[in-house]
Each structure stands twice: as C-alpha cells, then as structure tokens.
Amino acid sequence: MMGGSFGVSQPATAAALRRRSVIAVLHLTLLLPTVGVSGQSVGSPLDCHKTCVCASNIVSCSKMNLTNVPLALPKYTAVLDLSFNSITRLRAEWTPDHLSRLHSLLLSNNGLTFLSSEAFIYVTKLRYLDLSSNGLRILDEFIFEPLEHLEVLLLYNNHISQIDRTAFSGLDRLQRLYLSQNSITRFPLELVKERSRLETLKLLDVSSNRIKSLPLYELQVLPAWIKNGLYFHNNSLSCSCDLYDMVARWYLKELSSATDFKSSHTCVIPGQRKEKMAILDLDKAYLNCSEVKTLDEEAYLEQFLVLDCDTRQRDMVKRWALPGNIPLSPANKTAVMRSDGNLQIGPLRLEDSGVYTCYATSDSLNETLYVTVVVFNATTAGGLENLKTAYTTLVACLVSIVMVLIYLYLTPCRCATCPGQGLEKSDARESLHSSTVSLSQAHEETPQEKAEGGGFPYRHMAFRDPKDQMEQNGRLNPIGEEDEEWQGDSSERRRSDAESVSSVCSDTPMVV
Ligand SMILES: *[C@@H]1O[C@H](CO)[C@@H](O)[C@H](O)[C@H]1NC(C)=O
Ligand SMILES: *[C@@H]1O[C@H](CO)[C@@H](O)[C@H](O)[C@H]1NC(C)=O
Ligand SMILES: *[C@@H]1O[C@H](CO)[C@@H](O)[C@H](O)[C@H]1NC(C)=O
Ligand SMILES: *[C@@H]1O[C@H](CO)[C@@H](O)[C@H](O)[C@H]1NC(C)=O
Ligand SMILES: *[C@@H]1O[C@H](CO)[C@@H](O)[C@H](O)[C@H]1NC(C)=O
Ligand SMILES: *[C@@H]1O[C@H](CO)[C@@H](O)[C@H](O)[C@H]1NC(C)=O
C-alpha cells in the first residue's frame, strides 16, 4: 500500500512531498511493531535523502544496514546498488513493479542465503548482476531464466555446492560467469561443451573451488577463444601427465587462463601426504611427464591437411599466407581457405612443406599463428604405415568373422543351459566389431584429426594490444580485480562455521 502512495509522488511539489513523508512516517510507526515481529519482511519506501543517494536513474543505497530492498523504486531506475547491507533474502515481491530499465543490480556482501525462483521476473532487462560475497548454497532450476539480456553474472565467494542443471539456462547473452571461491566439486562442462553451451560465454571462472578432476579431453578440443577465458586454477585437481600436457599446451598457446595464474595452477599428488605441486613442474619431478613441445603438422604425399586458425578471440577476420609469406590467392587449387577460416591444403606434394601463417585481426586484437607443415615422401614412412594399418584391419576382420561363427554355432547350446551367457557373448562380439570399425575410421581421419585438435601445431606469437587488456580489465569486474579482492582481504576469505558445514554437503555430487 505504501508502494502505491509513493509511486505517484514523483511529480509532486515539495510541500506535498513533505506532507506525504509525514504520512509515511506515520505508516512506519504503525508498521514498526509488526515489522519487528515478522523479521522485517517488508522494506521501507525509498528515501533519497537518508538511506539512499539518487542521481537521476541511479539509486545507491550501499552500506546502509538495510534488511530489505526499499519499496517504490522509480520505474526509470537503471542502476540499483544495494551492496554491503543485510538483505538476507531476495523475495519474489522485492519489486512489485516492472523495472524495465534496470540494467545493473548490485547485491554483493549482503549475507544473502535465499533467492526466490521469481526474484528476477520483473527485472528482465538486467545486463549485470552482482551476487558475489554472499551465503548462497544452491542455485535452483531455471533461477536466472528471465534474464535473457544478462551479460555478466557474479557469484564468486558464496558457498555454492549445488547447481541445478538448468540454473543457467535462458542466459542467452551471458558473456562472463564468475563462480570462483565456492564449494563446487564438478566442472560444469555443459556450459562450454559444443551443442549445450551458452553461445556467447567467453569467460567462465571456476577457480578456487573443490574440483578434483577435469574432463581433459573435452576441454582440449574446445576452440581457443573459450579456453582462453576458462579459469580453473587453485582447485584440488589430482596430478597426472594428462593434466600437465593440457596446461602446458595452454601455456604454450599463451591462453590467459594458463598464463595469468601460472603459479596458482597446482595439483595434488595422489597418496597419503596430499602434497601440492605446480602443474607445469610435473615434467621435471615426480611423474617425469614427457615435455610438451610445439608440434609440426606431419603428412604424406597426396594427403589433405586442414590447418586450424584457432585464435584466442572469437569472430576475427582471418587471412592466410603460404610458405615464403606468399599471400593465398583464390586461384590456388591446392590451398583453399574454408568458410570457417581454416586452410585446407592438398593433395600434398613435397614442395608444400613450410611455414603457413594465419593473420587474424579484430578491432581490439591482432593475432598471428604459424603452422609448420612437413610433407614426407609417402613411399618411405607412409607406405609402411598404410600397409601396417591394412594388415591390422584384415586381422581384425578375420577375428570378427571367426567370432561371428563361434556365436552362430556355439551359443545356442550354451543358451539352453544359461541364458545370461548368450547375452554376454553377443556383447563381446559387438564391442570387437565396433573396435575394428573405429580402427579403420581412425586411420582415415588422421590428417584432419591432427589439424583440428589432437595436436597444438603452433609456434604461437600474439600481439597483445593494451586497449584489449583495458577492455577486459575494465569496469565490468574483471577477473584480475576479483582476484585482488580475494588475495588482499584475508578476513573475507576466512571460512565461517557455516561454511565448514557446507563442506560436508559439498561431497554430494554437484548437479549441473
Ligand atoms: C550500521 O550498523 C553498524 C553497527 O550496528 C553501525 O556502526 C553503523 O553506523 C550503521 N550504519 C548506518 C549507515 O546506519
Ligand atoms: C585457493 O582456494 C582456497 C579455497 O578453495 C582459498 O581459501 C585460497 O585463498 C585460494 N588461494 C588462492 C591463492 O587463490
Ligand atoms: C623420474 O626420473 C628420475 C631421474 O630421472 C628417477 O630417479 C625417478 O625414479 C623417476 N620417477 C618416476 C615416477 O618415474
Ligand atoms: C598453391 O598453394 C600451394 C600450397 O602451399 C603452393 O605450394 C603453391 O605454390 C601455390 N600455387 C600458386 C600458383 O600460388
Ligand atoms: C591490427 O593490424 C592492422 C594492420 O594489419 C592495424 O591497422 C591495426 O591497427 C592493428 N590492430 C591492433 C589492435 O593492433
Ligand atoms: C620418394 O622416395 C623414393 C625412395 O627413397 C624415391 O625414389 C622417390 O624419388 C621419392 N619421391 C619423391 C617425390 O621425392
């Protein structure tokens, strides 16, 4: 009811305003006893003099000990800053009106533990939502779904251990998602994996959580522009040479996620002592992992190769140059640039060996990638390999034929005695069969596979533009700033008792 009486107060004269505020105070005094009992579930009306600063479309009520969102916010509010208060619950009715111009909502440092599933239905134009440094534990299904315009979502430094699989669905324009310093135990691959990923997401920060293993193969095949913003340092990953291999390759490619936090990329040595170790040192000590070096693209005569121009930024304009820095001409039939920016060369001749260069440009960044191609004389190495593969395929084929015969002629008798065995037999036959198929396929795919993800063929040189760094580290709460915050302020990092309770829960698998 107070919301109504104040909604119309905007154009009123000063005198009328004063009268109304007297009424409001009356309302307040009447309300106070009940409010005290009910835990102050209703906020007081917006006061642009005492509790908030209102500057045209900005309403700032930071550090005012508010326990509720002020009521009757002007409809034209674009920025609402409620950080550093004590708003522990964000209910559905926190704004009864549509705030259709609100693009930034700041609720960090409030001790928030509850988000209504309808908390955001009246603020669908939000582009920036800060829920960091609160006490959130669970992200429910479809919780952010109304926020189809949201670009930045800050959830770091909460106690999140459970994320519903659908929690981030509907965030079609989300670019940056900060989930660091929570209690997440599973890497949310769904957010970046092809087909299910949030299409515009270019930064996902799950650093400083409790993730023990990463889906290494799936991460390795992602395009560089996703990996560049995929921060996963300071988790409790267990050490392995595969992990070393991946991080070392990201480091060689100068991906920000690997280079910016080099010293925080640690893993835990399996065993009793749970010793921590720098991932990039795994080749030198302990595991003796084989060192990662930049790989050349190797191929044989008459084969085709696809050279990937895998840039760290999305949607760049790409241009290729042939060995000797000869610009690629559209008339060239051997080397053709495909619509995805990759270069297909072949059928290969010995003289196609050399360094191919991809120049990628965009407004904020220029990148140059080099791919060294080595073409072998097929009659030496290639011929042998082809023969070997053909032989293996032949043997596998024969074996499967024999297995089919065994299945056909021997199983009926066994089936009569034991029905379970017949089933097992057919399973074995199937898996053998599929392995022969995949063997021959794998061979055919070799050149392409090599180009599209298996190896990292680049000697990578990139010209980083200071402008780009500024944009990335600009006002939209960059990763650097966030890290400073949790490195600098140790009191904030201290875990409360409540948190240690959540550590018990955190072993339950995270539903993403
Ligand atoms: C908020 O509460 C604290 C402690 O009760 C007090 O010191 C501080 O002055 C209050 N701030 C405001 C703006 O009322
Ligand atoms: C690493 O993560 C733990 C908790 O997961 C946190 O307490 C610590 O501050 C983090 N360290 C760094 C250097 O970020
Ligand atoms: C690693 O190499 C060192 C010396 O080369 C050797 O002493 C050590 O046993 C190796 N460790 C493992 C796990 O293979
Ligand atoms: C076409 O591309 C191939 C691939 O590297 C190169 O060897 C050849 O010289 C090019 N031909 C012309 C006419 O540019
Ligand atoms: C990228 O290179 C082009 C010339 O190739 C230059 O005009 C442009 O300024 C460069 N952009 C950046 C961000 O360095
Ligand atoms: C490939 O190697 C064979 C044997 O070493 C040689 O006779 C042949 O000329 C080579 N082919 C080319 C194209 O160099």
Q: How far apart are CA 232 and CA 213, in angstroms?
A: 11
For ligand 1, atom 4, the nearest C-alpha belongs to: 65
Structure tokens at 284: 């030198």
70 in any annotated domain: yes
The length of the chain, given as a count of residues: 512
**What radius of gyration do the chain's Cα atoms show?**
30
Q: How far apart are CA 236 and CA 267, in angstroms?
A: 6
Q: Is 39 left (phi over 0), alpha (psi -120 to 50) or beta?
A: left
For ligand 1, atom 10, the nearest C-alpha belongs to: 65
The residue out of 336, 358, 376 marking a domain boundary is: 376
Whether residues 301 and 366 fall in one domain: yes
175 in any annotated domain: yes
The residue out of 428, 454, 480 marking a domain boundary is: 454
Q: What is the DSSP letter of 328?
A: P
Residue 176, beta-bridge partner list: 152, 203
397: domain range?
A: 378-454
Q: Indicate whether this model's pTM tops 0.75.
A: no
Whether residues 342 and 394 fall in one domain: no
Q: How far apart are CA 246 and CA 265, in angstroms?
A: 12
Residue 297, beta-bridge partner list: 373
**Residue 312 CA to ligand 5 centre (angstroms):** 16
**Residue 241 CA to ligand 3 centre (angstroms):** 14
Q: What's the confidence (pLDDT) of residue 175? A: 96
Contact predicate 193/166, CB 8 Å: no
Q: What's the confidence (pLDDT) of residue 287? A: 74
8 lines ligand 6 (CB under 6 A): no
Q: How far apart are CA 402 and CA 436, in angstroms?
A: 14
The residue out of 376, 409, 425 marking a domain boundary is: 376
Number of domains within the chain: 3
Dihedral Cα 198, 199, 200, 202, nearest 10 deg: 70
Contact predicate 251/262, CB 8 Å: yes
Whether residues 336 and 390 fall in one domain: no
Q: How far apart are CA 87 and CA 68, in angstroms?
A: 5
Whether residues 246 and 309 fall in one domain: no
For ligand 2, atom 3, the nearest C-alpha belongs to: 208
Structure tokens at 10: 């905007």
Whether residues 275 and 302 fall in one domain: no
Whether residues 417 and 402 fall in one domain: yes
Q: Closest ligand 6 atom to the C-alpha of 301?
A: 13
Q: Which ligand is nearest to the CA of 483?
A: 2
7 in any annotated domain: no
Contact predicate 68/44, CB 8 Å: yes
Site to substitute for ligand 5 among 318, 361, 362, most atoms within 8 A of C-beta: 361
21 in any annotated domain: no
Whether residues 368 and 385 fall in one domain: no
**Residue 334 CA to ligand 4 centre (angstroms):** 6
What average pLDDT values come out for the chain (512 residues) when binned by 10 residues?
35 40 39 38 83 94 94 94 96 90 96 94 96 95 94 97 90 96 94 88 95 94 94 94 92 92 91 85 79 82 90 91 92 91 90 93 91 79 49 50 50 45 37 31 36 36 37 32 32 33 34 38
392 in any annotated domain: yes
449 in any annotated domain: yes
- H helices of 38-164, in order, are none
**Residue 295 CA to ligand 6 centre (angstroms):** 25
Whether residues 238 and 256 fall in one domain: yes
Write phi, then psi, for 114 (nearest 5 degrees): -135, 130
Q: Closest ligand 1 atom to the C-alpha of 63?
A: 13
Whether residues 137 and 225 fall in one domain: yes
Write phi, then psi, for 3 (nearest 5 degrees): -60, -45
152 in any annotated domain: yes
Q: What is the DSSP letter of 189?
A: G
Q: What's the confidence (pLDDT) of residue 288? A: 78
Q: How far apart are CA 209 and CA 181, in angstroms?
A: 5
Look at the block and give the residue holding tokens 């920036």.
128
Whether residues 247 and 349 fall in one domain: no
Pocket residues for ligand 1 (CB within 6 Å)? 64-65
Structure tokens at 211: 């993730």
Whether residues 362 and 405 fall in one domain: no
Task: CATH number of the domain at 274, please.
Answer: 3.80.10.10
Chain CA centroid to CA 155, Å? 13
Q: Which ligand is nearest to the CA of 284?
A: 3
| Burial (Cβ within 10 Å: 0-12, 13-18, ≥19) of residue 65 | exposed
Q: How far apart are CA 454 and CA 221, in angstroms?
A: 8
Q: Which ligand is nearest to the CA of 241?
A: 3
Q: What's the confidence (pLDDT) of residue 482? A: 32
For ligand 1, atom 12, the nearest C-alpha belongs to: 64
Cα angle 297, 298, 303; round to 5 = 110
Beta strands in 343-405 (DSSP E): 343-345, 354-361, 366-376
Q: Closest ligand 5 atom to the C-alpha of 366?
A: 1
Q: How far apart are CA 241 and CA 226, in angstroms?
A: 22
325 lines ligand 4 (CB under 6 A): no
Q: Closest ligand 2 atom to the C-alpha of 495?
A: 7
| Listed residue (243, 234, 236) closest to 261, CA to CA | 234
Task: CATH number of the domain at 362, please.
Answer: 2.60.40.10
**Residue 503 CA to ligand 2 centre (angstroms):** 14
Write phi, then psi, for 244 (nearest 5 degrees): -55, -45
Pocket residues for ligand 3 (CB within 6 Å)? 287-288
Residue 344, beta-bridge partner list: 306, 336
3-state SS string over 252-309? HCCCHHHHCCHHHCEEECCCCCCCEEEHHHCCCCCCCCCCCCCCCEEEECCCCEEECC
The per-residue DSSP string of 459-487 comes to: EEEEE--HHHHHHHTSSS--HHHHHHHHH
| Listed residue (204, 265, 275) closest to 235, CA to CA | 265
223 in any annotated domain: yes
For ligand 2, atom 8, the nearest C-alpha belongs to: 208
Whether residues 195 and 311 fall in one domain: no
**Residue 467 CA to ligand 5 centre (angstroms):** 12
**Residue 357 CA to ligand 5 centre (angstroms):** 16
